[in-house]
Amino acid sequence: MHDLQGKRVAVTGGSGFLGSHVVERLAERGADIFVPRSQTYDLVSADGVRRFYDDAAPQFVIHLAAQVGGIGANRDNPGKYFYDNLMMGVQLIEEARHRNVEKFVAIGTVCAYPKMTPVPFREDDLWNGYPEETNAPYGLAKKMLLVQSQAYREQYGFQSIFLLPVNLYGPRDNFDPASSHVIPALIKKCLDAIDSGADEIEVWGTGRASREFLYVDDCADGIVLATERYDDSEPVNLGAGREITVKDLIETIAKLTGFAGKIRWDESKPDGQPRRCLDVSRAAERFDFRAKTSFEDGLRRTIEWYRARRQDAA
């Protein structure tokens, strides 16, 4: 059990969507928090990583920074997503080892799982196939941090853990249509249609693919709990343990936003991974993490936050 009170904790990506919620949880624990800004520290470069450690002098590192996006962004940037995510993580872990950091928390991605993983996804299935093609470069880059984490623990006794969050959603999410994930993209589509008086919206794929979603506050709780209580080389899923089809998802979002028009499916666009739902028993057993937020409550809060943001910008 690590007591974070007064500990110097560096959070890469700490000003981002998930990171800002993690920083709030750490502040509640009394941690001394350092958040590197991308304008000051280029964590893809070795020099930027060294300067970050020089200035942060962390006892703990939680690595959340990533180049990430939805299916379209992954298809447009496979090389960048592979290189940037790999180089950030590998160099941050290597430098942490040299600096005698007490614990490194690496955040992976559900995209690392094989395309045809049996549902629910169990951590032991992580190496049983190739990831879904549209996000494989990103998923594999992140999965290499698990390999590094395990190898460094074995050879150097370096304390590093690897967490696998499922798709996240909630207030402060990215609503830019060029790079957003499915929930903010669909919320924006519905609210834009209501504002413009459009009688239909277009959605990618067939609607038959399924996804699991974890509310961002719950994920932040899981990461901080793991930082405090988990010390093992085995990867751990962070999820809610429930599955919904994209068709049911858009119908729920339409209902909650008040959009009553037609939903038109563009089946020429990819569905992505056919199904996605995690076995979350390991997190419950190892550090007592269980998601608390119901899906509809989380969606309502996300929609309310985005509506307020749109009104403030108007």
User: Residue 59 and residue 37: Cα distance in Å, rounded?
Assistant: 19
Helices (H) then strands (E): counts for the chain: 10, 12
Q: Residue by residue, what is the 3-state secondary structure of 56-80?
A: HCCCEEEECCCCCCCHHHHHHCHHH
Q: Are strands 8-12 and 236-238 parallel, antiparallel or unpaired?
A: unpaired
Rg (CA), the chain: 19
User: Residue 15 and residue 227: Cα distance in Å, rounded?
Assistant: 19
User: Residue 131 and residue 302: Cα distance in Å, rounded?
Assistant: 29
Q: Are strands 213-215 and 167-169 parallel, antiparallel or unpaired?
A: parallel
DSSP 95-150: HHHHTT-SEEEEE--GGGSBTTPPSSB-GGGTTSSPBPGGGHHHHHHHHHHHHHHH
Q: Do 27 and 6 contact (CB within 8 A), yes or no?
A: no
Q: Do 238 and 163 contact (CB within 8 A), yes or no?
A: yes
Tell me, yes or no, if 138 is annotated catalytic.
yes
Residue 268 Ramachandran class (φ > 0 left, ψ -120 to 50 alpha, else beta): alpha
Please name the residues in contact with 151: beta carbons below 8 A apart, sequence gap of 6 or more. Answer: none
Q: Do 165 and 62 contact (CB within 8 A), yes or no?
A: no
From the candidates 81, 138, 152, 230, give the one annotated as an active-site residue. 138
β-partners of residue 278 are 121
Known catalytic residues are: 138
